[in-house]
Structure 1
């Protein structure tokens, strides 16, 4: 039976869910606080099951066309000495494939595919939710509203709807400033060969993604609130890497002045349940680990498919569908969020001793040890890929 489904948040998770649920014949409405969608965004690595699901949606060709080449990565110390040089092909051998793409690029692939099939209300948010039986009346910020059988909340890490209606959820603050974006500039670096600088309380990644463009991302430990961090982000950038080479400093200064930049503070949501009545959390709003896990986008896509899978199995019992989704997702969430915490500790070492431990281990590690560290923690089991939950 066709259901009225509201998706609040038209990001990667929301649009993937919309694609699956629309294909099932449900009446799907998407609202988003943004006035329009853009292609801007930091680089993400879509891996393994995330790529598989995009292929299932018939979007692999578009995904590859929007992606950036990725061949090698060198982990280096702040003076440029190489710790370890890795081939992406070797490193990703046990996860089938990996696609490097900007978050905006991935989002645009999904939106381009859906925009003529989907009702998207821009500059619109949820202002109130009132439930009576199996029906729920949602009021929008513009005073309008709708009745919905299911409300999927994909509003991102700082979701106001989650904060209001999911009182058992908490935000875990990694106390880490994150900045990412791209700079249009001519350069002589080989495209697809990346450098990741590992240092005490910070990590800097430089990605030559085209002959005239470099993507830059970095993490810096910072305990201030987000508003303060954003206000002094340029100053923090320049101070944090002042001891680096003149070439790196010049690149970062130009990035701060001319680049397309995204600034945020790393965190993730710990939710005891993803379900409250006929409301369900999806993506960053409910569980996606920080970018430090390397799997946030893939988990958003997987969660969207998992939820739609259970809806397809019991469209007339959406409460059970949501409960099954929650049961499946909780152990996966714990695994990937643990991986994010471990990566934060390893790749952003808190002191010189931990930095020294990282350098010694990575420099001496075998291919098998590196694979175990880099890719084994991000693989799902066969049962999880088939949406079999261990109750």
Structure 2
């Protein structure tokens, strides 16, 4: 039976859900707080089952067309000396292809596919929701009202709707500053070769996008509040990389002076229940695993497909579908959030001793050991891929 489904948040999770649910014949309305979508955003690596699902949706070719070349990653110490050169081709032999793409590029692929097929209300948010008789009554910003059979909350890490309607959920401060930005201008970096510097309490990556553009991403351990981070970001970046090469210092200066950076603190979302009545959490709003899991975008896409799968099984019983979605996702969420903690300890070590120990392990491990180290944590079981609950 056709349902009226409102999706609050038109990010990657929300658009994926919109595509899947629209194809099942449901009426979809997306509520989006921004005034319009754009292609800006930092780089994400879509891996494993995330790429597989995009392929199933018929969007892989568009994904590849928007991707950034990634053939090798040079892992370096703070002096710029090589710890290890990793070939993505070798790493990916144990898993599906990974695709390096800007978040805006991935979003654009999904948006273009559903544009004109579903209604999108820009510059709109949910002010209030009340459930009654299997329906969700919604008051929108601006005073408009709506009634839906189900509401999907996919507003991202700092979801206001989650905080209001899932008060038992928690947003854990991961104590990691994230900064991402892109610089236009001629550069001499080799296309397809990513340089990542490992250091105590910090990590810096340089991604050549073209001969005229590079992207920079860095992570810094800090316990400061986000508001203070924003006010001190330039001084913080310069201080943390002041002992690096002149080339790196120049990039840090250029990216901070450009004003084109995205700065946030990583957070990990813990929700005891992913649904309340006919309101359900999806993607980062419900289970953000942080970028340190390497699977944030893929998990959002998988979650959308899982939700659509269970709704297709129980088209007339939303409650049963949401119970199954909740049961399937919880152990998967736990796995990727634990992976994120382990990766943070390894790749952003808290002491010189930990850095030395991990660098030695990374440098001396066999190619097969490194491949497994990088990819074993990215996979789902055969049952999970088929949405079978054990």
RMSD: 0.9
Task: Report what 2:235 is aligned to.
Answer: 235
Task: Report what 2:194 is aligned to.
Answer: 194
Task: Report what 2:316 is aligned to.
Answer: 316
Give the drift of 1:233: 1.1
Alignment map for 1:219-368 (pairs within 5 Å): 219-258=219-258, 260-368=260-368
* 1:15-49 Cα deviation digits (max 9, x unpaired): 00000000011011000111111100000000111
Q: What secondary structure, in the 3-state scheme, does the structure 2 residue paired with 1:101 have?
A: strand
Whole-angstrom distance in 2 between the partners of 1:34 and 1:183: 24
Task: Report what 2:149 is aligned to.
Answer: 149
Q: What secondary structure, in the 3-state scheme, does the structure 2 residue paired with 1:67 have?
A: coil
Q: What secondary structure, in the 3-state scheme, does the structure 1 residue paired with 2:18 have?
A: helix
TM-score by length of 2: 0.99
Contact 1:184 1:259 in 2 (8 A): no
Give the drift of 1:259: 5.9
Whole-angstrom distance in 1 between the partners of 2:283 and 2:223: 25
TM-score by length of 1: 0.98
Whole-angstrom distance in 2 between the partners of 1:91 and 1:172: 31
Give the drift of 1:383: 0.4
Contact 1:159 1:285 in 2 (8 A): yes
Contact 2:289 2:337 in 1 (8 A): yes
Q: What secondary structure, in the 3-state scheme, does the structure 2 residue paired with 1:329 have?
A: helix
Give the drift of 1:56: 1.3
* 1:312-364 Cα deviation digits (max 9, x unpaired): 11111001101100100000000000000101111101011111111111111
Contact 2:52 2:96 in 1 (8 A): no
Task: Report what 1:388 is aligned to.
Answer: 388
Contact 1:179 1:219 in 2 (8 A): yes
Contact 1:199 1:355 in 2 (8 A): yes
Alignment map for 1:109-148 (pairs within 5 Å): 109-148=109-148
Contact 1:6 1:29 in 2 (8 A): yes
Whole-angstrom distance in 2 between the partners of 1:70 and 1:234: 29
Whole-angstrom distance in 2 between the partners of 1:310 and 1:237: 45
Q: What secondary structure, in the 3-state scheme, does the structure 1 residue paired with 2:287 have?
A: coil
Q: Number of paired residues? A: 390
- Which segments of structure 1 move beyond 6 Å, counting only runs of 4 or more? none
Task: Report what 1:62 is aligned to.
Answer: 62
Task: Report what 2:47 is aligned to.
Answer: 47
Whole-angstrom distance in 1 between the partners of 2:89 and 2:62: 21
